[in-house]
Structure 1
Amino acid sequence: MTNELLLISLRLVPFLLLAGHALAKPVGRPEKFDWKKNEVVFAFGDSYTYTQGELGFTNYSWNTFQHLDKHGNVIVGEDPIILNATSAGGPNWIEDVTGCYSGLPSKCKHSLYNIAFAGADIDPTKIALHHNFSIDYVTQIDQWFTYVQPKIHYKSSNTLAASFIGINDVSDTSKWTNVSFPAFFDGLISSVFDGLERLHSAGIKSFLVLNVPPVDHAPGSGGKAALAANVATYNSILANYTSAFAANHTDSNVFYFDTYAYLMTILNDASTYGFKNITSFCPRYDAPDFNTNYAAYGCLAPYEYFWFNSGHITYPVHKLMAGQISEMLEKGATV
């Protein structure tokens, strides 16, 4: 070997060593999750998650994906969020977590593109729609691929997909007597994770999954024993699916929030959290001036109720819940 070739070889040694280290890096290790650097949140779910948009289905969604701009393109990111238009009488958990309360999603620190639809079930091939116009979870995923993905720029390193679904499924089936609920809910939850698999294939590598809250304690829960059994069964299966999803996707950050357990903590010690009524709600909760004129309706202040109506929690409960979720995301406390 000539002196010139020897010199070139020696110069290459450090680069070869670095390359060796790069190749030795464990395959599938996710990028360290940093909530402060997160820029985009895609949300899927039902009324507990939906936010009203100017181009949405009134009282049900942020966007119908039916409005066209002057060029004939579906309007997506230019759809403003309407302030306090949720199922909570004020901001809901996903707005509190993202800090995206009104206006264009792109103007928020964590841009919130919310595909959730109030009244959504999971899969119309397995359960009838809650309303005949409901946009179910499976269809929400389809909408994301058809309308949102082509328009909204996102990267694996700065994007979170939030999934909060199942409330209508456990409630609508609570009076069924001719079904094996473990098998039935397993099939429904399988559809949820088919959707998450599709999102993963599209480059999303951070996921937040929430279980069903204690709707069996809601004022309008009806057959509570059957509903309580449904909620417990569904949540148990969902937790198992989430753990399996995390184990099978070591390139991803997977978060699981036990909504049920946390809200039960509040219900069991309500006064500590400032709630004076945890069993009913103000009959005039839907009055336009309820938040400022509640006394005229013979009601407590809205922030003193746990339940906003027969099945939904108030915005102060959402805020408490969001605080716990934000803390989990900030800590990077994955499954």
Structure 2
Amino acid sequence: MPRLSRLLAATTLLASGTLVHSHPASQEVARQLPATGPNYRFSFGDSYSETRFNPNGTLPNPANPLGNPDAPPSGPNWVTYGTTKYNHSVVYTYNYASNGATIDDDLVEPSDPSSRTLTDQVNDFLAGAGKKPSATPWTSENSLFSIWIGMFDIEYTYFLSGNRDLFSDQLLDAEFPLVKKLYDAGARNFLFNNVAPINRTPRMLRQPSSAQAKQAEVIDGFNARLSSWIRDFGSKHTDAKIFFFDANARFTSILNNPKTYGFKDAKSYGSGDDFFWMNDFQPGSRANDYIAQVVGKDVLGNTVW
């Protein structure tokens, strides 16, 4: 056992800490990027984001803006589509996300020992691209740092007793010093996604309704506290531009009305475009395309890339 140690508008969380609805037109007046040279994205998270990028392998380049591998085994996800389809410039993406990742293994141990926790991922970045080598000449202005983490921290612990709000704060107290390390390295554009409603995955639908309800309660508690931590970070770092994608609300809207979005239902999974779920836990390719479109057009607009 791993150890313990809603259709809604996308939103942008401004550095002032005010949560407002995001409108693409209003974002057109924001800072425009240079017309020459690539922009950079540094992605951190779990299997919802991973592309199996190896920072010691081929780096992002004109032929493959994700660097490596040539074709992620699980197919394109929202990071892939955001890099190659719903972007407004050339974007080189360094994707440190790792399958099954948790925030820190002192709090929640990943089920796979080879998984790189968020702590590991940030340290990997700081040891390499974070030093701004000549091969990766990113700047505070031309880079975006995205973090989507927490699904497995909850998946592995939601059933445990104890003060869940306190534990959520312990998780976030491990995450946000890592965000501060990124800031200290020069990061100024941050994109945070909250925890998706994994209580509605085919995997959880096999569990009793009481377990589904318990997991949903833990997710809601974590997400509420995440929003508070993001606001606090923004208020203390007013030169940072902070974007927020309410993944939970967006997933919920789709799963409540799957046919409206072209999916057959909210429960089954498979490889076809009419399946929302690719397997019993992860959204499929077309669902990821939709997520990337919302993030790229509604949340980020032309403000970052």
TM-score bracket relative to the smaller structure: 0.7 to 0.9
1:156 to 140, 143, 148: 140
Q: Which amino acid aligns with 1:173?
A: T
- Quote the residue 2:301 is aligned against: 330
Equivalent runs, 1:74-223 vs 2, <5 Å: 76=59, 80-85=67-72, 87=74, 90-99=75-84, 109-150=90-131, 151=133, 152-177=136-161, 179-221=162-204, 222=207, 223=211
Q: For the Cα contact (< 8 Å) 2:67–2:93, is it kept in 1? A: no
Q: For the Cα contact (< 8 Å) 1:33–1:253, is it kept in 2? A: no
Tell me which of the two structures has the higher relative contact order, counting C-alpha pairs closer than 8 angstroms and 6 or more residues apart: 2
Aligned length: 259
Listed as ranges, the gaps of 5+ residues in structure 1 are 1-30, 52-60, 68-74, 102-107, 286-301
**How far apart, CA to CA, are the structure 2 residues paired with 1:112 and 1:64?**
11
TM-fit CA distance, 1:149: 1.9
Q: For the Cα contact (< 8 Å) 2:60–2:68, is it kept in 1? A: no
Root-mean-square deviation over aligned CA pairs:
2.4
When residues 250 and 330 of structure 1 are mapped into structure 2, their CA distance, relative to the original with a 3 A threshold, is: same
After superposition, what is the alpha-carbon deviation per residue over 1:198-226, rounded to whole angstroms, capped at 9, x for unaligned? 11111111000000111110010232112
Equivalent runs, 1:183-332 vs 2, <5 Å: 183-221=166-204, 222=207, 223-282=211-270, 285=271, 302-327=272-297, 328-330=299-301, 332=303
After superposition, what is the alpha-carbon deviation per residue over 1:159-193, rounded to whole angstroms, capped at 9, x for unaligned? 1100000000011002212x211111111112211
After superposition, what is the alpha-carbon deviation per residue over 1:36-73, rounded to whole angstroms, capped at 9, x for unaligned? 8670000000000001xxxxxxxxx21164x6xxxxxx
TM-fit CA distance, 1:132: 1.6
Q: For the Cα contact (< 8 Å) 2:60–2:93, is it kept in 1? A: no
TM-fit CA distance, 1:33: 3.9
Secondary structure of the residue aligned to 1:41 is strand
Q: Which amino acid aligns with 1:195?
A: L
TM-fit CA distance, 1:96: 1.2
When residues 82 and 240 of structure 1 are mapped into structure 2, their CA distance, relative to the original with a 3 A threshold, is: same
Q: For the Cα contact (< 8 Å) 2:59–2:67, is it kept in 1? A: no
**Aligned sequence identity (%):** 27
* TM-score, structure 2 normalization: 0.79
Q: Which amino acid aligns with 1:163?
A: I
**How far apart, CA to CA, are the structure 2 residues paired with 1:91 and 1:130?**
24
When residues 32 and 306 of structure 1 are mapped into structure 2, their CA distance, relative to the original with a 3 A threshold, is: same
Q: For the Cα contact (< 8 Å) 2:59–2:68, is it kept in 1? A: no
**How far apart, CA to CA, are the structure 1 residues paired with 2:115 and 2:126?**
18
When residues 182 and 34 of structure 1 are mapped into structure 2, their CA distance, relative to the original with a 3 A threshold, is: farther
2:54 to 60, 63, 67: 63
Q: For the Cα contact (< 8 Å) 2:54–2:68, is it kept in 1? A: no
Q: For the Cα contact (< 8 Å) 1:76–1:148, is it kept in 2? A: no
When residues 76 and 145 of structure 1 are mapped into structure 2, their CA distance, relative to the original with a 3 A threshold, is: farther
Between Structure 1 and Structure 2, whose CA radius of gyration is higher?
Answer: 1
Relative to its length, the structure with more helix (as a share) is 1
**How far apart, CA to CA, are the structure 2 residues paired with 1:317 and 1:205?**
29
Q: Which amino acid aligns with 2:220?
A: A
